[in-house]
Structure 1
Amino acid sequence: MTDPVHRPEQAAVRGLLRAVDEALDGPVPREWKEAVAAVPRHRFLPDRIWLENNEGGYGPCDLPTDHQRWFEAAYADAPVITQVNDGQAPADPADAWPSASAPSIVVRMLRDLDVRPGMNVLEIGTGTGWNAALLAHRLGPRHVTSVEIDSDVSEQAWASLNATGLDVDLICGDGSLGWPHRSPYERIISTCSVRRVPWAWIEQTRPGGIILTPWDNPLLCWGLLKLTVERDRAQGRFSPHSAFMLMRNQRHDLRIFRDVVRDDHVPKESATTLPPWNITGDHWEARFALGLRLGDVWTAWEDEPDVDGVAARLWIATTDARSWAAVDHDGEQHDHFTVWQHGPRRLWDEIEAAHHWWEQHDRPTPDRFGLTVTENSQWAWLDRPTCPARALDHKESR
């Protein structure tokens, strides 16, 4: 007979699984339904989480004082912020990243990882520990190793995993190095995004094994990459799902006016008919393609800059902060925009060329792109590995 104490929890799990069913392109596989039911998500969240407020930012929600709202957030198919700005409250809401991914994304990745009982799996980025717990329920004892770089986060995850009795080997360390002591692995799954796939992951995966990781590019953090490991390389395709926090040792903390634009810069003026919003905002597929094509280019949008006759400005810069461009919209014309460019690269010219390339190739979506990784290099391709997607007239900044 059902214990009445657990009825709210069971009802919440059933509601969550229905929501995940709707979000996926097919029903939740039976084995993962069983795992989600056996490993309740709320047991892996801290007493304080951060939820959106009515002011465009985030505010704390504490279990002891706001139990109902906290519990509802735990079983919504939505990400939950358990830590903001790597442990510091953000001054800007844009600096807040979810620490607990939406359950539909978690289940999608676990389904795509294609694991079976007895496989050895390495997880990069333990986070709350819920993902590792689901894997441990599916694979059995001593088959899941998880690496977390943040000591406070790893302690919280260890406590949650220990309370459930699930056997996960949890290490506090740099996930980009993998964990060679338990290798080789049949599967590696990352819960943080990368701009370059660490070669250590490939070295620690059996030939024929799979690496699944979220993808990030300075132009757009979006997409999943699924690689199959071969003896001297790994190769696979992207899919258009999810955005995850970037691996800490691959981040660039850049600001336009602090790091890039200087008073003594004298930019070259030109004009364009390509609207700046066509390569930013909700144009996800164009931005994904341009990000792969250009590699080390990022953008920042500025509304109402303090410039006469300019209603909005799109900034473009390289991650080495040596080149930049700005595209101005006067608020009225929609077929003519002023362009300013400075540095050794003409970034807006590159953007226009890359956008033209994308249109010439029938506006390819992320699933038409793939990536090949070798020990010394990695390159994106379109449709097949012999068709590089990267522009060949410049090198990526390191």
Structure 2
Amino acid sequence: MPEEAIGDLLEQIAEVLGSPVPAPLRAALHAVPRHLFLPPTVWMRDGKGSYERYDRDQAPDRWWSAAYRDAPLVTQFTELSDGGLVPSSSASMPSMVVRMLRDLDVQPGHRVLEIGTGTGFHAALLSFLFGAENVTSLDVDPALTRQAQRALKASGQQPEVICADGAGGWQPNAPYDRIISTCSVRTVPGAWLEQLSPGGRIVTPWDTAWCNFGTLIATGQADGTAEGSLVPYGSFMLMRAQQADVELRRDILRDDQIPERSVTELSPWSVAGNDLDAQMHIGLHVPGVWHAWDTDVHEAHIRLWLADDQATSWAGVDYDGRQTSTFAVAQYGPRRLWDEVAHAHEEYVSAGRPGIAKHRLHISPDVRSTRHEVSLA
């Protein structure tokens, strides 16, 4: 059953890539079966905003089908303070894994640091392809680290797996020729730059508060900086060290706030709709600002909320359910968030609506982490 299932999976991946899976990666996927790295229960999005459960003991055929589908699978949930559950670990979409390994461009003898061991599947593929002695993998979660170590041993691939915060890299095995992350970042941790060899490569999913999409491929420079471009794939969980615990109603909105009111002709769907290029441009140029749609407001048919990670400013843009030529705006706090977003969108349109791949990032060391400057290619 695994060989047939792997063959089906390779066909699914090839369809997504638009070309056959490269021979070395085909061999790796056969040698390192995905099911070895999955727990007895996994969850997959059901297309209705929730997750469907797949249990190996109760419905083995459904579990096997999920294991070899080209889809991300949630392997762990974490409970929030309000009692809700949020995914905290997952098995990446196989076609995404293939893309990242292809773009990592590891050469024989390269030393690789992986951030986010997760299930261990990525680390096993890296070890098969480039030798376990060349692979170091980090995960911040002790339970996940132990599970991954057991799965790796069962698969016959045993890279060095360490329970540590990936934001700090792993100095004992540095420098690295390649650093790959299976969680997204909003800024490249300073330790990654310090531990990357000149000419080395970083491949990491990129995240902004506004939009979680895109992958950074950056090359280390002789002066300790890195430069690279974003490519249009990748949507991963944000690195724990960079997550901000800010909620609109709990931390920002207050009854005594008096917002500044105005009207805009810019549709909220133009900045928070289906245009991922626009969303990514805004996220890169309006740092620390996120948005949420709200259909449960009395004053409007639907509202686009904006707020910042510092819990100091917010804005609301209302659609009245009748006309789309103008929209009511309310803004509060030291930042005028809608004005910032509207300005970034104006720049996006003026630049010819550049795609994600047109954005280049220059990353340089800062006091605690790094800072990045954005330019258009």
Shared fold by TM > 0.5?
yes
**Percent identity of equivalent pairs:** 44
In structure 2, what is the equivalent of residue 263 of structure 1? 255
Contact 1:371-1:378 within 8 A present in 2 as well: no
Displacement of 1:140 after TM fit? 1.4
Contact 1:63-1:70 within 8 A present in 2 as well: yes
Displacement of 1:375 after TM fit? 1.1
Letter in 1 for 2:162: I
Tell me how far apart the structure 2 counterparts of residues 368 and 285 of structure 1 sit (CA, whole Å). Answer: 10
Letter in 1 for 2:29: V
In structure 1, what is the equivalent of residue 160 of structure 2? 169
Displacement of 1:134 after TM fit? 0.3
Tell me how far apart the structure 1 counterparts of residues 134 and 159 of structure 2 sit (CA, whole Å). Answer: 7
Tell me how far apart the structure 1 counterparts of residues 182 and 90 of structure 2 sit (CA, whole Å). Answer: 10
Q: Deviations over 1:215-271 (max 9, x none)?
A: 010001110001100122011000110100000010012211111111110001100
In structure 2, what is the equivalent of residue 324 of structure 1? 314
Greater displacement, 364-373 / 79-88: 79-88
Q: Does residue 135 of structure 2 align to residue 144 of structure 1?
A: yes
In structure 2, what is the equivalent of residue 51 of structure 1? 44
Q: Over aligned residues, Cα RMSD in angstroms?
A: 1.8
Match of 2:200 among 203, 209, 231: 209
Q: Does residue 280 of structure 2 align to residue 298 of structure 1?
A: no
Tell me how far apart the structure 2 counterparts of residues 88 and 30 of structure 1 sit (CA, whole Å). Answer: 47
Displacement of 1:106 after TM fit? 0.2
Displacement of 1:318 after TM fit? 1.3
Displacement of 1:197 after TM fit? 0.2
**Secondary structure, in 3 states, of the residue corresponding to 2:152?**
helix
Tell me how far apart the structure 2 counterparts of residues 193 and 381 of structure 1 sit (CA, whole Å). Answer: 18
Tell me how far apart the structure 2 counterparts of residues 89 and 106 of structure 1 sit (CA, whole Å). Answer: 33
**Secondary structure, in 3 states, of the residue corresponding to 1:189?**
strand
Q: Which runs of 5+ in 1 are unaligned?
A: 1-7, 385-398
Contact 1:116-1:138 within 8 A present in 2 as well: no
In structure 2, what is the equivalent of residue 367 of structure 1? 357
Tell me how far apart the structure 1 counterparts of residues 347 and 338 of structure 2 sit (CA, whole Å). Answer: 14
Contact 2:227-2:363 within 8 A present in 1 as well: yes
Contact 2:149-2:158 within 8 A present in 1 as well: no
Tell me how far apart the structure 2 counterparts of residues 229 and 25 of structure 1 sit (CA, whole Å). Answer: 30
1:188-267 to 2 correspondences below 5 Å: 188-231=179-222, 232-267=224-259
In structure 1, what is the equivalent of residue 169 of structure 2? 178
1:104-115 to 2 correspondences below 5 Å: 104-115=95-106
Q: Deviations over 1:55-85 (max 9, x none)?
A: 6422432211110010000000000111123
In structure 1, what is the equivalent of residue 8 of structure 2? 15
Tell me how far apart the structure 2 counterparts of residues 367 and 279 of structure 1 sit (CA, whole Å). Answer: 18
Displacement of 1:382 after TM fit? 2.6
Contact 1:81-1:98 within 8 A present in 2 as well: yes
Displacement of 1:383 after TM fit? 2.7
CA gap 1:266/1:88 in 2 versus in 1, 3 angstroms:
closer
Letter in 2 for 1:109: M
Tell me how far apart the structure 2 counterparts of residues 88 and 326 of structure 1 sit (CA, whole Å). Answer: 26
Tell me how far apart the structure 1 counterparts of residues 82 and 93 of structure 2 sit (CA, whole Å). Answer: 21
Displacement of 1:314 after TM fit? 0.6
Tell me how far apart the structure 1 counterparts of residues 319 and 162 of structure 2 sit (CA, whole Å). Answer: 50
Tell me how far apart the structure 1 counterparts of residues 290 and 124 of structure 2 sit (CA, whole Å). Answer: 36
In structure 2, what is the equivalent of residue 389 of structure 1? none
Q: TM-score, normalised by structure 1?
A: 0.90
**Secondary structure, in 3 states, of the residue corresponding to 1:122?**
strand
Displacement of 1:88 after TM fit? 10
Letter in 1 for 2:281: A
Match of 2:110 among 119, 125, 139: 119
Tell me how far apart the structure 2 counterparts of residues 379 and 128 of structure 1 sit (CA, whole Å). Answer: 31
Q: Deviations over 1:133-188 (max 9, x none)?
A: 00000011311100000111111111000111212100001000000111111100
Greater displacement, 263-272 / 369-378: 369-378
Displacement of 1:378 after TM fit? 2.1
**Secondary structure, in 3 states, of the residue corresponding to 2:125?**
helix
Displacement of 1:52 after TM fit? 3.8
Higher strand share: 2
Tell me how far apart the structure 2 counterparts of residues 295 and 42 of structure 1 sit (CA, whole Å). Answer: 39
Displacement of 1:97 after TM fit? 6.0
CA gap 1:150/1:230 in 2 versus in 1, 3 angstroms:
same
In structure 2, what is the equivalent of residue 286 of structure 1? 278
In structure 2, what is the equivalent of residue 272 of structure 1? 264
CA gap 1:298/1:205 in 2 versus in 1, 3 angstroms:
same
In structure 1, what is the equivalent of residue 339 of structure 2? 349
In structure 2, what is the equivalent of residue 159 of structure 1? 150
CA gap 1:18/1:64 in 2 versus in 1, 3 angstroms:
same
Tell me how far apart the structure 2 counterparts of residues 214 and 52 of structure 1 sit (CA, whole Å). Answer: 20
Q: Deviations over 1:259-289 (max 9, x none)?
A: 1111110001100011111111322110100
Contact 2:271-2:279 within 8 A present in 1 as well: yes
Letter in 2 for 1:128: T
Contact 2:114-2:135 within 8 A present in 1 as well: yes
Tell me how far apart the structure 2 counterparts of residues 89 and 170 of structure 1 sit (CA, whole Å). Answer: 33
Q: Which runs of 5+ in 2 are unaligned?
A: none
**Secondary structure, in 3 states, of the residue corresponding to 2:206?**
strand
Match of 1:27 among 2, 7, 20: 20
Q: TM-score, normalised by structure 2?
A: 0.95
